[in-house]
């Protein structure tokens, strides 16, 4: 029996509350199920040590506060995990991972911007790590690092908001701006969409809702009147007793609110404009955007021997401006002139930050 397989089995036994994990019981289990004979107490001690080290790697913060994550009870003569929700190995089987991936595939409407495919890729990565762990010695580090892991900002309000979206019920909530001096404000409206967004700095949740005035008895959601709030800016959510009559048009699609945006936020006064860009044919960016379009509106409108001209239809806002400043070496914006000037100004300000500065200042 490979040592990594033995560690996986002992880990599984630790997860079973009814199993008394000690050298005698584990030795008997391995002998009965895997024909392992002469499983020495020294080997058992070494396996426990390896499991403790792997748990420390996987749960460093918990280890810092609690110490060893596998402890021994003299009263019960057994080793145990200090918490029921920790494990050295993923507790989902490859078959279950495959079933989850299939479920995601069947519910693509819940994802946008390739997020569904990204999740499937993470599940595949987990399955690959599981497979490697069964056939090789365990590493003392993670062989795969998945991006944008961790908690999603504002996730604590997701459940109550989602419930009211499905129930088509108006809610009242208190929110505040990002600045420390921002005052709390009250809002009243019908939540219609939860949206996850990665702005390159952090990933958080946002709620799109139809605002209403107190006392209104009827509410008709309108794409052009929707508002967006970050969940981590919401302080409190309060149910509303007197509910208006909600009438939703069959063709109402909240996601259309973002169809002309490159990012997330938009201004009601903005209209989608045609943006013409030029990319040289020998530039890596050309092949990249052919596979991963900048926006759904992207199309090639002309080309010659040296370059390609593409068109995008977007609301021109700060996110669009920042995007083209970021890729100014690869993409040249030709029109509209106002965007060209904004990009020039942004680049000049950036260069200005590095003028007349000495090293180390």
In sequence order, which residues have a C-beta less than 8 Å from that of residue 355 and are 6 or more positions away? none
**CATH number, domain with residue 227:** 2.30.30
Same-domain check for residues 77 and 102? no
Measure the CA–CA gap between 317 and 301, rounded to whole angstroms.
23
DSSP state of 133: H
Strand partners, 196: 205
Question: Are the C-beta atoms of 171 and 191 separated by less than 8 Å?
Answer: yes
Q: What is the model's pLDDT at position 5?
A: 85
DSSP state of 244: P
> Does residue 293 fall inside a structural domain?
yes
Measure the CA–CA gap between 303 and 22, rounded to whole angstroms.
72
Measure the CA–CA gap between 263 and 266, rounded to whole angstroms.
8
Over residues 153-184, the pLDDT tens digits come to: 677 788 888 888 988 999 999 998 777 778 88
For residue 39, give Cα distances in angstroms to 29, 46, 138, 242. Answer: 10, 11, 20, 69
Residue 246 phi, psi (nearest 5): -100, 125
Question: Nearest Cα to 278, choosing from 206, 213, 328?
Answer: 328
> Does residue 250 fall inside a structural domain?
yes
Same-domain check for residues 58 and 17? yes
Question: Nearest Cα to 240, choosing from 203, 275, 212?
Answer: 212
Same-domain check for residues 163 and 240? yes
Over residues 31-80, the pLDDT tens digits come to: 999 999 899 999 999 999 999 998 988 888 888 889 999 999 999 999 99
Q: What is the model's pLDDT at position 297?
A: 93
- Report residue 301 CA to chain centroid gap: 34
DSSP letter string over 140-174?
SS-S---TT-SPPBTGGGHHHHHHHHHHT--EEEE
Q: What is the model's pLDDT at position 106?
A: 75
Same-domain check for residues 298 and 340? yes
Residue 227 phi, psi (nearest 5): -130, 155
Same-domain check for residues 245 and 284? no
Over residues 308-343, the pLDDT tens digits come to: 999 999 999 888 999 999 999 999 999 999 999 999
Place of tokens 């892991």: 149
Per-range mean pLDDT, top range of 55-64, 108-117, 146-155, 282-291: 282-291
> Does residue 20 fall inside a structural domain?
yes
Residue 199 phi, psi (nearest 5): -90, 10
Of 222, 257, 292, which residue is a domain's last?
A: 257
Of 257, 291, 323, which residue is a domain's last?
A: 257
Q: Over the range 275-290, which residues count as b (16 or more CB within 10 Å of their CB) and which as e?
A: bbbbbeeebeebeebe
Domain that holds residue 56: 3-81
Question: Nearest Cα to 196, choosing from 259, 82, 113?
Answer: 113
Measure the CA–CA gap between 218 and 244, rounded to whole angstroms.
5
- Report residue 289 CA to chain centroid gap: 23
Helices (H) and strands (E) in the chain, counts: 10, 13
Same-domain check for residues 176 and 253? yes
Q: What beta strand segments (E) does 212-359 contain?
A: 218-219, 227-230, 234-239, 245-246, 273-280, 299-303, 307-314, 332-335
Question: Are the C-beta atoms of 275 and 312 separated by less than 8 Å?
Answer: yes
Same-domain check for residues 64 and 102? no
Same-domain check for residues 252 and 163? yes
> Does residue 149 fall inside a structural domain?
no
Specify the range with the lowest mean pLDDT, choosing from 97-106, 146-155, 204-213, 245-254: 146-155
Same-domain check for residues 167 and 248? yes
Question: Nearest Cα to 112, choosing from 201, 206, 189?
Answer: 206
> Does residue 194 fall inside a structural domain?
yes
Question: Are the C-beta atoms of 154 and 231 separated by less than 8 Å?
Answer: yes
> Does residue 265 fall inside a structural domain?
no
Q: Is the pLDDT of residue 20 over 60?
A: yes
Same-domain check for residues 166 and 253? yes
Specify the range with the lowest mean pLDDT, choosing from 88-97, 281-290, 347-356: 88-97
Instruction: State pTM to two decimals.
Output: 0.60
233: its two tokens? 């800016």
> Does residue 130 fall inside a structural domain?
yes
> Does residue 50 fall inside a structural domain?
yes
Same-domain check for residues 165 and 253? yes
Specify the range with the lowest mean pLDDT, choosing from 120-134, 140-154, 199-213: 140-154
Mean of all residue pLDDT scores within the chain:
85
Measure the CA–CA gap between 245 and 85, rounded to whole angstroms.
44
Same-domain check for residues 65 and 8? yes
Domain count, the chain: 4
Q: Is the pLDDT of residue 147 over 70?
A: no
């Amino acid at each position: 029996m490979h040592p990594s397989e033995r560690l996986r089995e002992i880990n599984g036994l630790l997860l079973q509350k009814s199993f008394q994990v000690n050298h005698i019981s584990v030795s008997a289990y391995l002998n009965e199920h895997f024909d392992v004979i002469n499983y020495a107490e020294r080997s058992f001690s070494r396996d426990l040590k390896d499991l403790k080290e792997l748990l420390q790697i996987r749960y460093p913060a918990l280890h810092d506060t609690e110490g060893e994550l596998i402890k021994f009870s003299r009263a019960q003569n057994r080793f145990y995990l200090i918490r029921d929700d920790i494990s050295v190995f993923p507790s989902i089987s490859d078959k279950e991972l495959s079933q989850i991936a299939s479920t995601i595939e069947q519910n693509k409407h819940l994802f946008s911007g390739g997020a569904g495919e990204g999740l499937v890729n993470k599940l595949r990565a987990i399955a690959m790590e599981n497979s490697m762990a069964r056939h090789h010695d365990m590493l003392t580090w993670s062989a795969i690092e998945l991006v944008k892991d961790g908690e999603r900002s504002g996730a604590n309000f997701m459940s109550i908001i989602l419930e009211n979206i499905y129930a088509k019920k108006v809610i009242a909530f208190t929110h505040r701006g990002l600045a420390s001096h921002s005052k709390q404000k009250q809002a009243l409206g019908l939540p219609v969409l939860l949206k996850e967004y990665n702005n390159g700095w952090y990933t958080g949740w946002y709620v799109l809702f139809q605002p209403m005035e107190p006392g209104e008895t009827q509410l008709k959601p309108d794409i052009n009147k929707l508002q967006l709030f970050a969940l981590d800016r919401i302080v409190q959510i309060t149910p509303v007793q007197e509910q208006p009559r909600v009438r939703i048009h069959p063709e109402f699609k909240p996601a259309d609110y973002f169809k002309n945006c490159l990012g997330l936020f938009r201004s009601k006064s903005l209209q989608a404009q045609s943006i013409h860009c030029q990319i040289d044919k020998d530039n890596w960016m050309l092949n990249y955007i052919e596979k991963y379009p900048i926006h759904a509106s992207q199309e090639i409108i002309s080309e010659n021997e040296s370059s390609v001209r593409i068109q995008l239809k977007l609301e021109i806002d700060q996110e669009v401006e920042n995007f083209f400043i970021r890729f100014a070496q690869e993409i040249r914006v030709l029109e509209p002139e106002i965007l060209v000037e904004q990009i020039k100004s942004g680049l000049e300000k950036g260069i200005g930050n590095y003028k007349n500065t000495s090293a180390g200042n």
